[in-house]
Structure 1
Amino acid sequence: MAVVEELLHVTSRSALFGILLMLLSVLYFFSSRSRSQKKEKEPPGPKPLPILGNLLHLDLKRPHLSLLSMSKQYGSIFTVHFGPKKMVVLSGYQTIKQALVTHAEEFENRDMNHMFSVFNEGRGILFSNGKNWKTMRRFTLSTLRDLGMGKKGSKEKIIDETRYLREVFEKFKGKPFRTSEPVSYAVSNVISAIVYGSRFEYTDPVFIDMITQVKENIRLMGSASIQLCNLFPWLCSWMRTWKQIMINRERNPLFHEENLKYTVSNLFAAGTDTTAATLCWAFLLMAKYPHVQDQVQKEIDRVIGDCQARMEDRKDLPYTNAVIHEIQRIANIVPMSLPHTTTCDVHFQGYVIKKGTCVIPLLTSVLRDENEWKSPNTFNPEHFLDEKGQFVKRDSFLPFSAGHRVCVGESLAKMELFLFFTSFLQHFRFTPPPGVSEEQLDLTPAVGFTLNPSPHELCAVVRNA
């Protein structure tokens, strides 16, 4: 019996030791896991609600403003939940540059929400990834160069189009009219002439329908209902805006072809909306700030007189060049860029962003960065001038985004903005409609995926008439 009792005693001690060892192992596991989580913590952010996430914190009509406000509380990198979908927001010039340029490969993928997936099916260049995107981007850039983008041929196409658009403006004889439609036709004709090989008449019903569809779809994509549809795809079939977009999609054969036509449609849409919107902002801002318009016109008169403006004149027009850049900065056309996703787990600024996480480069936080701009919320061409009045490039000027996903049409857009703007300030004086003061001109952007001016009218008075 004594032997048995001793064995039981030893066995119980062994069991107790085993239990203690197991407990210590479990504690060590959770302790080491906790330390690992502290070392590899995810970006902070507001606590999400089930299903809704942080939707109650967001203005879905102007989400970029809500996110900009959040960045002041949570810092330059934070997490926000759009419904059930977790997104990481990057804010400020230094953070966005580090992500999109220094860590370009890790952040290069495009996030495919429900809308983008339905429209592009992973083809084209704007909404595709991997080998398809890289191949199509290389093909697009090389083909556009072969077709004359950035060369003398494209400059001549732009100059020709300025003449057609001037004729339209002159027909109003200084009376108020909406600039948005004819400006969209002119800008679209530039990319059409390059890609399709010919321009369209502004009265061509097929052309008008194409432009109308592009603008309407871009407007709808920024609506609150479509954003909810992206978050909860099962809602789509019930939504009127979704049905309208699908009708538009079926009407346009470009969206039913293979990569070439998807790519061309991407170029047509992107090459029309953003540049046209910027030019509309330009004319509106000139009417809003007549003293800036005065200085631009004095410089143009002094340097080029009645001659046709050329790209070579840009270096001799520092104030005009500064004004164009400031228009792009303050217009803030694509405030949230296009969403990215991470290609792998990324260790970034002390946080871990998991592979496949949607990332929003908040471009509005760069163009309005208080650390980079003297008066970020004010229209001030001095941002791009030195003390001698010479033009100064600014690294934090990123209206075309940066890194591997930088806009493929950047060089063409810059050329268009300079040649259209100088030509029209050379020939016209932009003023508010009769009975409307400069102060009454509204700079609140319309709701949409890109920020166009709200509907308005201006007078384009021929100078020296």
Structure 2
Amino acid sequence: MDFSMVTVALLMICITCLLLFWKGKRLGTKGCLPPGPRPLPIVGNLFQLDPKDMVQSLMALRERYGSVYTIYLGSQPFVVLCGFQAVKEALVDRGEEFSGRGDLPVVFRFTQGDGIAFSNGDKWKMLRRFAIQTLREFGMGRRSIEERIQEEAWCMVEELAKTKAEPVDPTSLISRAVSNVICSVVFGDRFDYEDKKFLTLVGLVNDNFQRLSSWWGQMYNLFPHLMYYLPGPHNRIFENFEKLRLFVLEMVKIHQETLDSSSPRDFIDCFLLKMQQEKKDPCSYFHTNTLVMTTHNLFFGGTETTSTTLRYGILILMKYPDMQAKVYEEISRVVGPHRSPSFEDRVQMPFTEALVHEIQRFIDILPMGIPHAVTTDTHFRGYVLPKGTNIMPVLYSVHKDVTQFKDPEAFDPTHFLDEKGGFRRRDAFMAFSAGKRVCLGEGLARMENFLFLTTLVQRFTFQPLIPTEEIDISPLISGLGNVPRPYKFRAIPR
């Protein structure tokens, strides 16, 4: 059932009621924000934005208002940054001032600003520092985690081999493999692929990423106070989040009962030990709820973005079989048919490395980024942004910047190759965001993307069920994230 018209009608009724009681609350704020489309009371710039494709709406407004402008999502102003230069100047060159986490109501309702991804100030700095240090201790970016990814990649190969080249939807299998890597770090162990609880958890993650990116998710961000009371598919988001929270809490309780302070097994153990060390400190940021939210952030983020990237990557390889063949040629020459690909191999595989980067640039997994906020009153490009002003760095506009990429609308791995065919790093590659809030799992995700993809191509040819010219690599849903269209393929053993 399509609830969109019902929801719009209900919204209009609620807005009318609110207007009757509205007592002159001003939409403006102190300071001097960049110009933008004139907002209406309560609804802000709703009529200039398409919740089903926010990015294209923002890009259209850029044509009129330039690279830096202001929009209102409901009653909240957001300063939008478009293009490489504007985003780099804010997030990288002035990273400290733009390091706050901005408003994302659909997620805040669950996190309440807790956990590593959505906290602010000293709490965020302490949690991030602790997480980076702890994850390094458990092999993030080292040989130990590489071996873990290689083992999981072979588990996925074995599962695909069982299909005997029959059509298969890769969504669940890829998600389970990727999730098991982060599970081994935060929970200390992997799950069997047929574990019913694990299947449920992975399904919840996949479902929520789609719902967060849907029209309903975007409408919640526009009108959180109204959508909170309205029925509709958006409420499933919070039900899913709660189920994930209860699972993490159950894991924390098990860890508490079996904790050995002399031998921490994983991230949860280390956090519990930190809680013990600071239990007498009234200002400590290390509490059970923060542990649950931080672990949830790591589990959700470490599962969905990488699995979606790989799922999109396979679809693109089927769309361009010549590129799939070229990747296989590099694997055959550098790795051979028997040894597992290693992360060091990428140095001798420039085309494959470029293709992995191009997949991430092209698909824009989080096209609008995650909102930032300025941490102090900030002068930026002739404007004054008061402390706490929401910032929307449109990463799509960076990856599609014609000053940085020769043909940004096309899928072309040569965007990351130099004249001699060597891999070329690009400052405008911001798949993991940039600056102080750059994804702390970037190193792990890079390793996973390369190792999973090369291991799969080493063992299989991915054959589509439809002609390559009919394969649609545009997103099915574009909102908070870009979600690929569902598909099946045949994994033909090499």
Per the TM superposition, whether the score is higher than 0.5 is: yes
Please state whether the residue corresponding to 1:373 is helix, strand or coil.
coil
Hey, what does 1:218 align to over in structure 2? 209
Q: Which residue of 2 aligns with 1:440?
A: 470
Q: Which residue of 1 aligns with 2:266?
A: none
Alignment of 1:146-165 (within 5 A): 146-165=137-156
Q: What is the CA-CA distance between 1:420 and the residue it aligns to?
A: 0.7
Out of 232, 238, 246, the position equivalent to 2:230 is 238
1:288 equivalent in alignment to 2:289: no
Q: Secondary structure at the match of 2:453?
A: helix
CA-CA distance at 1:57 after TM superposition: 1.4
> Do the aligned partners of 2:172 and 2:203 also contact (CA within 8 Å) in 1?
no
Q: State the partner residue of 2:347.
A: 315
TM-score, normalised relative to structure 2:
0.83
> Are 2:449 and 1:458 aligned?
no
Counting only pairs closer than 5 Å after superposition, residues 322-333 of structure 1 correspond to structure 2 as: 322-333=354-365
Tell me by how many angstroms 1:255 deviates. Answer: 7.0
Q: Is the 8 A contact 1:347 1:353 kept in 2?
A: yes
What SS is found at the alignment partner of 1:79?
strand
Task: Please state if 1:194 is matched with 2:194.
Answer: no
Structure 1 residue identity aligned to 2:352: T
Q: Name the TM-score, length of structure 1 as normaliser.
A: 0.88
State the Cα deviation string for residues 337-392 of structure 1 (Å, max 9, x = none).
10011112211111222222111000001111111000100000111111111111
Q: Secondary structure, in 3 states, of the residue corresponding to 1:287?
A: helix
Q: How many correspondences in the alignment?
A: 422
Q: Which residue of 2 aligns with 1:249?
A: 241
Residue 329 of structure 2: aligned partner: 298
Deviations 1:402-429 (A, max 9, x none): 1110000000000011111111111111
Give the secondary-structure state (helix, strand or coil) at the position aligned to 1:237: coil
Query: 2: distance between equivalents of 1:254 and 1:354?
Result: 40
Please tell me whether residue 113 in structure 1 is matched to residue 104 in structure 2: yes
Unpaired runs of at least 5, structure 2:
1-30, 250-287
In 2, Cα distance between equivalents of 1:243 and 1:78: 32
Quote the residue 2:310 is aligned against.
279
Would the aligned equivalents of 2:104 and 2:371 in 1 still touch at CA under 8 Å?
no
Where do 5+ consecutive residues of structure 1 fail to align? 1-39
Q: Is residue 374–residue 387 contact of structure 2 (8 Å, CA) maintained in 1? A: yes
Question: Residue 254 of structure 1: CA displacement?
Answer: 5.1
What SS does structure 1 have at the residue aligned with 2:480?
coil
**Kept after mapping to 2: 8 A contact 1:249/1:255:** no
Does the aligned pair in 2 maintain the 1:225–1:239 contact within 8 Å? no
Equivalent residue letter for 2:155: Y
Separation in 2 of the partners of 1:381 and 1:229? 37
- Residue 309 of structure 1: SS of its match in structure 2? coil
CA distance in structure 1 between the aligned counterparts of 2:334 and 2:111, rounded to whole angstroms: 46
For 2:42 and 2:229, locate their aligned partners in 1 and report how far apart those are by CA, in whole Å: 19
Could you tell me which amino acid in structure 1 is paired with residue 74 of structure 2? G
Structure 1 runs, 4 residues or longer, greater than 6 Å off: none
Q: Is the 2:34–2:69 contact (alpha carbons within 8 Å) kept by the matching residues of 1?
A: yes
| Partner deviation per Cα, 1:223-272 (whole Å, 9 max, x = no partner) | 22233233331331222224322322333315765111211110000000
Amino acid at match of 2:315: L
- Secondary structure of 1:272's counterpart equals helix
Structure 1's 62 and 317: CA in aligned 2 closer, same or farther, altered over 3 A?
same
With over 3 angstroms needed to count, the CA separation of the structure-2 counterparts of 1:238 and 1:264, relative to structure 1, is same
SS at match of 2:462: strand
Cα distance, 1:440–1:249 mapped onto 2, change above 3 Å: same
Would you say the 8 A contact 1:325–1:384 is kept in 2? yes
Measured against aligned partners, the alpha-carbon deviations of 1:279-318 in whole angstroms (never above 9, x if no partner) come to 0111111100011111111111111111211111111001
Structure 1: distance between partners of 2:326 and 2:462: 13
Matched, 1:367 2:399: yes
Kept in 1: contact 2:32–2:384 (CA 8 A):
yes
Deviation at residue 326 of structure 1 after TM alignment: 0.6
Structure-2 residue corresponding to 1:22 = none
- Give the drift of 1:446: 2.5
Shift, 1:455, TM fit: 1.0
Give the corresponding residue for 1:383.
Answer: 415
Letter in structure 1 aligned against 2:187: Y
Distance 1:283 1:249 in 2: 28
Structure 1 residues 318-327 or 208-217, which shifts more?
Answer: 208-217
Q: Does 1:419 align with 2:451?
A: yes
Residue 441 of structure 1: how far off its partner (Å): 0.7
Q: Sequence identity of aligned pairs in percent?
A: 43
Partner of 2:439: 407
Q: Which moved more, 1:48-57 or 1:277-286?
A: 48-57
Return the letter of the residue paired with 2:429. Answer: F
Output the CA distance in 2 between the equivalents of 1:148 and 1:287: 33
- In 2, are the aligned partners of 1:254 and 1:265 still within 8 Å (CA)? no
User: Aligned partner of 2:449: which letter?
Assistant: L
The answer to whether the 8 Å contact 1:254/1:262 transfers is no
CA contact (8 A) 1:300 1:422 kept: yes
The residue correspondences of 1:136-147 to structure 2 (distance < 5 A) are 136-147=127-138
Alignment of 1:249-268 (within 5 A): 249-252=241-244, 253=246, 257-268=288-299
Is the contact between residue 183 and residue 280 of structure 1 (CA under 8 Å) also seen in structure 2?
Answer: yes
Query: How far apart, in 2, do the equivalents of 1:442 and 1:109 lie?
Result: 37
Q: Secondary structure at the match of 1:241?
A: coil
Q: Give the distance between the partners of 1:319 and 1:188, measured in 2 at CA.
A: 27
Contact 2:248 2:295 in 1 (8 A): no
Question: What is the root-mean-square deviation of aligned Cα atoms in Å?
Answer: 1.5
Structure 2: distance between partners of 1:415 and 1:46: 42
Per-residue deviation at 1:50?
2.5
| Structure of larger gyration radius | 1
C-alpha change, 1:265 and 1:250, in structure 2 (3 Å) is closer
Equivalent in 197, 204, 209 of residue 206 of structure 1? 197
Out of 413, 428, 445, the position equivalent to 2:460 is: 428
Q: Distance in 2 between matches of 1:316 and 1:254?
A: 42
Q: Is the 8 A contact 1:120 1:255 kept in 2?
A: no
Is the contact between residue 337 and residue 360 of structure 1 (CA under 8 Å) also seen in structure 2? Answer: yes
Q: Write the letter of the residue equivalent to 1:137.
A: R
Secondary structure at the residue paired with 2:228? Answer: helix
AA partner of residue 351 (structure 1) = Y
